[in-house]
């Protein structure tokens, strides 16, 4: 299968004054994949994503999203992407159903709130306020808001931070479902187990540079081929498996 780039970043540079946050990075994201940006705090992941999302100016370089140039066609790009913002603020007096209606109005699209909430398994919370949701439900709701305009690409910045193991796994299922329905997903995460099960390809960013880009499987195989061995034999299960096994895996978070 021929892979088509849906995002192309070439020689991207971002300086904050004298500080070089993004130093000449180039990469492509393919249509229909879950692409992970991984790296330590301050590596430049959020800066890079926000430039692609047309939310932040770049210093130099070129970026195209679904064939549109961020310099001259930002409006077209905005129409085609969904962005999950960290710590999004929602009108506190509105319930989830009303918030979806509000978002539909902002995007100028007609969608049923029930359909959008059903996509993220929040049908029974239609009348609830955002602040009364659990952490996992909040994340699912904010993902629903990114899907309202039927985006070609969704951007998720650390979507599972602070969630319990079940809520994380439920969210992984949801993100894979979004990909399987044809939407490209770009995600940042600090959890390598998450990147390993979720991402089709990952890029490691450090000090504003991309230091590797490949499938998780290939990265691991390459490391093993160098003779790398884990210091201790790993057990067939870990404590997270025990947690899931004891508490079940159904939606409830
Ligand atoms: N508006 C700004 N002004 C000055 N420096 C900034 C600004 N925004 C980000 N930076 C700096 O740029 C660097 C990259 O930040 P960025 O938020 O892109 O990193 P990140 O990889 O997303 O980190 P994290 O994993 O912590 O979210 C950091 O050193 C940060 O302090």
Q: What is the mean pLDDT of residues 209-237?
A: 89
* CB 208 near ligand 1, within 6 Å: no
pLDDT for 252 beyond 60: no
CA of 43 from ligand 1 middle (Å) equals 7
**pLDDT of res. 41:** 92
**pLDDT of res. 176:** 97
Q: What is the mean pLDDT of residues 94-115?
A: 91
- Weakest-pLDDT range from 7-21, 75-89, 97-111, 123-137: 75-89
Phi, psi of 153 (to 5 degrees): -140, 135
pLDDT for 253 beyond 60: no
**pLDDT of res. 242:** 82
**pLDDT of res. 250:** 63
Of residues 234 and 164, which shows the higher confidence score? 164
Q: What is the set of domains in the chain, with CATH numbers?
A: 5-247 (3.40.50.300)
CA of 48 from ligand 1 middle (Å) equals 10
- Contact between residue 155 and residue 163 where contact means Cβ atoms under 8 Å apart: no
Average pLDDT for the chain: 91
Determine which residue's CA is closest to atom 17 belonging to ligand 1. Answer: 46
* CB 86 near ligand 1, within 6 Å: no
**pLDDT of res. 99:** 93
Q: What is the mean pLDDT of residues 52-70?
A: 97
* CB 82 near ligand 1, within 6 Å: no
Tell me the best of 21, 39, 50, 87 to mutate to test the pocket of ligand 1, counting ligand atoms within 8 Å of each CB and taking the most: 21
Residues 6+ apart with CB under 8 A from 177: none
Tell me the best of 38, 47, 53 to mutate to test the pocket of ligand 1, counting ligand atoms within 8 Å of each CB and taking the most: 47
Determine which residue's CA is closest to atom 25 belonging to ligand 1. Answer: 41
Please report the atom of ligand 1 found closest to the CA of residue 37.
21
Q: What is the mean pLDDT of residues 143-148?
A: 93
**pLDDT of res. 1:** 60
| Percent of the chain surpassing pLDDT 90 | 72
Three-state DSSP at 230 gives coil
Q: What is the mean pLDDT of residues 26-49?
A: 96
Confidence of residue 93 (pLDDT cuts 50, 70, 90): confident
Determine the angle formed by the axes of helices 96-107 and 135-146, rounding to 10 degrees.
Answer: 20
Q: What is the mean pLDDT of residues 134-141?
A: 90
**pLDDT of res. 84:** 87
Residue positions counted in the chain = 253
**pLDDT of res. 249:** 66
* CB 243 near ligand 1, within 6 Å: no
**pLDDT of res. 90:** 82
In 3D space, the residue among 106, 108, 81, 79 whose CA is nearest the CA of residue 94 turns out to be: 106
Find the angle CA(182)-CA(185)-CA(189) to the nearest 5 degrees.
155
């Amino acid at each position: 299968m021929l892979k088509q780039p849906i995002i192309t970043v070439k020689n991207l540079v971002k300086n904050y004054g004298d500080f070089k946050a993004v130093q000449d990075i180039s990469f492509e994201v393919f249509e229909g994949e879950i692409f992970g940006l991984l790296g330590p705090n301050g590596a430049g992941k959020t800066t890079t994503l926000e430039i692609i999302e047309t939310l932040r100016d770049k210093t130099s370089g070129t970026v195209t999203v679904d064939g549109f140039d961020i310099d001259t066609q930002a409006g077209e790009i905005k129409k085609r992407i969904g962005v999950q913002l960290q710590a999004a603020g929602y009108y506190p007096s509105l319930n989830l159903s009303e918030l979806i209606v509000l978002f539909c109005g902002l995007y100028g699209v007609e969608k049923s709130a029930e359909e959008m909430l059903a996509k993220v398994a929040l049908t029974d919370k239609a009348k609830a306020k955002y602040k009364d949701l659990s952490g996992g439900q909040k994340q699912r709701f904010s993902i629903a808001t990114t899907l309202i305009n039927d985006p070609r690409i969704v951007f998720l910045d650390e979507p599972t931070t602070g969630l319990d193991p079940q809520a994380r796994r439920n969210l992984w299922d949801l993100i894979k479902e979004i990909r399987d329905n044809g939407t490209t997903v770009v995600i940042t995460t600090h959890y390598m187990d998450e990147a390993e099960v979720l991402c089709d390809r990952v890029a490691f960013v450090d000090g504003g540079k991309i230091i590797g880009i490949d499938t998780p499987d290939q990265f691991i195989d390459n490391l093993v081929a160098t003779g790398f061995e884990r210091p201790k034999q790993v057990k067939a299960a870990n404590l997270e498996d025990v947690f899931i096994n004891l508490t079940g895996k159904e939606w409830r978070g």
